[in-house]
Structure 1
Amino acid sequence: MKKPAVRLCDLPSPLPVRDGIAPSYAWLPEGNWPTIYAFLLDRFAVIGESILSKRLANGEIVDEVGLPIDLLTPYKAGKRIWYYREVEAEPRIPFEAEILFQDAHLLVVDKPHFLPMSPAGNYLKETLLIRLRAALNNQDITPIHRLDRETAGVVMFCLTPELRGKYQRLFEAREVQKTYEAIAPWKDGLSFPRVHQSKMVDGDHFVTMKEVPGEPNSETEMSVLARFGDWALYQLKPHTGRKHQLRVHLASLGIPILHDPFYPIMLPDKGDDFSKPLQLLARSIEFIDPITHMTRHFVSKRHLNGMEGL
């Protein structure tokens, strides 16, 4: 049976942001459930009857106007219910981010490897966004752009929600210069510098991407910063912002990034093994600030260390 749509709230909510976590909601679809509790037991059976009944008893699930739902609340299709998402036994990410810059509107952070950007899957509080909201006591912090969980380096957040769009439009207009570094194999026969273009589409697994024939929709400028034996340190400047673009482009050239768990093949989930971080770093970012009109240039203090032990 198809699950109801469940999303972080993007509509007015009767619940406030709590500990940096925005409330979520679920639509109530057409159906013959006598009560909302019966619907929850049917659609969210994986959570378990004891946990669901406890959350209702504690008033943790509410209707559209904020009234608590109890065991006998009648089911009405087309309505929404609101709640705070919870993750049982959320794994601790033992790495910390560093704030590089902060003013009234902009927050620039040096993200570590393995730390997710925002709540998703098994991660809720152990995410960069929720940590920053809690540390700065500011529930309005929102990402301007994103980095993969496996990628470290410079990432930006907006402190003023109504100005977020101005910063995001810089990325849409390709007015942000992003520079990455990666450790990957050296391959004889490949000449650098080079520009790699390809058409990227969703991959065979829902979290991956792949290249296919057709009009290119992705482009990366590549050069070599240093070579050490069978490996090299590459500088990568993406001119587009496709999901996993740098990882896909290097893998397609036969030089996948060191410790990449997705490309060229998807490896089993490493769980709590943090010993082999993906050797990809968002080294710097530069743009004209749309609010102050100043040139902004931020550089990561982190360094790739994946060659240790090879």
Structure 2
Amino acid sequence: MLNGVSASKVFLPADKDHLIQTVFEHLCKHFSHIFEQEWQQRFDDGLVYDATGKTLRIDSPYQPNTHIFYYRFLAQETHVPFQHQILFENEHLLIVDKPHFLTMSPTGQYVQETLLVRLKKQTGIEELSPIHRLDRETAGIVLFSKKAEVRHAYQALFAKRQVQKTYHAIAAYNPELYFPQTLNLCIEKGQPFYTMQINPCGEPNSETLIECLEHNKTWAKYQLKPHTGKQHQLRVHLNYLGIPIQNDPFYPTVQRKKQDDFSAPLQLLAKRIEFTDPLNHQNIGIESAFDLSLSYQSNDK
């Protein structure tokens, strides 16, 4: 682990035609979406190694049927000016409060500015891994396993729906809607590909209990208890009711925002999580220190 980032592992397959002479050539060909100059910089910075830990150079020969390792860093990365907080820790588990705008794990244009890398740097635990995920836009409670061998035990809780998750959201108030109500809908991939949509003719595959906690005749604070875990489920369900979550960049329409625009956080919070620890049988109930307020005024209002 280097500065909170774990090494990525790449297998070098047999090259029957002997067309590849160096590791550098293979990486440029295999990861064609990454500029050649970026690979060259990684070699120059000593971020590529063989299986013995030896630093590889740009002219290091290609050795088929071996593994090499490299570290991924970005030359420029937008800083996310919000902090996480560890709320609970035991031998196997971390429960963390994630702020808005912080991506869970390295992907695309974020490496250092991700919750996983920040936590690895803070704790020094290289095997740290998220058990479930929150969208970049969503704040609140998320679980991490500290050891690879126990990860499956916690993931099984989610697969068996033995985790009670409670969310809060700020969305428009509609006096014609009555709560509490439970939505059972069919959610499927939409367009653009990173959004979801309702198929009114499909078999229901998502379920959410929705309650209205309070309102000021314009906005309302809703409590959401999902029984399933479809992508964007809560955002899609409230949008279906005609009350999309305040500042949602995807629903009802996709809005393009700059990566460094932190002015209007999505008003969705994973407020509480409850479960029985499968390893020590402890009943755990943790609540986020973050909160959503009806007094919040959006720049997009």
Secondary structure (helix, strand or coil) at the match of 2:275 reads strand
Counterpart of 1:279? 267
Secondary structure (helix, strand or coil) at the match of 2:9 reads strand
Shift of 1:82: 2.2
Listed one character per residue, the Cα deviations across residues 140-177 of structure 1 (whole Å, up to 9, x for unaligned) are: 22112111111111111122321121111111111111
> Out of 18, 23, 36, which is 2:2 matched to?
18
Counterpart of 1:97? 84
Return the alpha-carbon distance in structure 2 between the equivalents of residues 121 and 50 of structure 1: 17
Shift of 1:74: 4.3
Counterpart of 1:238? 226
Counterpart of 1:124? 111
The TM-score with structure 2 as length reference comes to: 0.88
Return the alpha-carbon distance in structure 2 between the equivalents of residues 164 and 82 of structure 1: 24
The TM-score with structure 1 as length reference comes to: 0.86
Counterpart of 1:143? 130
Shift of 1:219: 0.6
* Percent of residue pairs identical: 46
Note closer, same or farther for the CA distance 1:291–1:40 as it changes in structure 2 (3 Å cut).
closer
Secondary structure (helix, strand or coil) at the match of 2:186 reads strand
Runs of 4+ that moved beyond 6 A: none
Aligned residue pairs, count = 294
Secondary structure (helix, strand or coil) at the match of 1:55 reads helix
Counterpart of 1:133? 120
Give RMSD over aligned pairs.
2.3
Shift of 1:106: 1.7
CA contact (8 A) 1:276 1:306 kept: no
Return the alpha-carbon distance in structure 1 between the equivalents of residues 86 and 55 of structure 2: 39
> Out of 100, 108, 117, which is 1:113 matched to?
100
Return the alpha-carbon distance in structure 2 between the equivalents of residues 269 and 80 of structure 1: 40
CA contact (8 A) 2:92 2:147 kept: yes
Return the alpha-carbon distance in structure 1 between the equivalents of residues 28 and 294 of structure 2: 47
> Out of 143, 146, 149, which is 1:162 matched to?
149
Secondary structure (helix, strand or coil) at the match of 2:184 reads strand
Shift of 1:109: 1.2
Higher mean alpha-carbon deviation, 40-49 vs 137-146, is at 40-49
Shift of 1:83: 0.7
Unaligned runs of 5+ in 2: none
Higher mean alpha-carbon deviation, 145-154 vs 23-32, is at 23-32
Counterpart of 1:13? none
Confirm or deny that 1:60 pairs with 2:47. yes
Listed one character per residue, the Cα deviations across residues 208-231 of structure 1 (whole Å, up to 9, x for unaligned) are: 111212111111011100111121
CA contact (8 A) 1:33 1:39 kept: yes
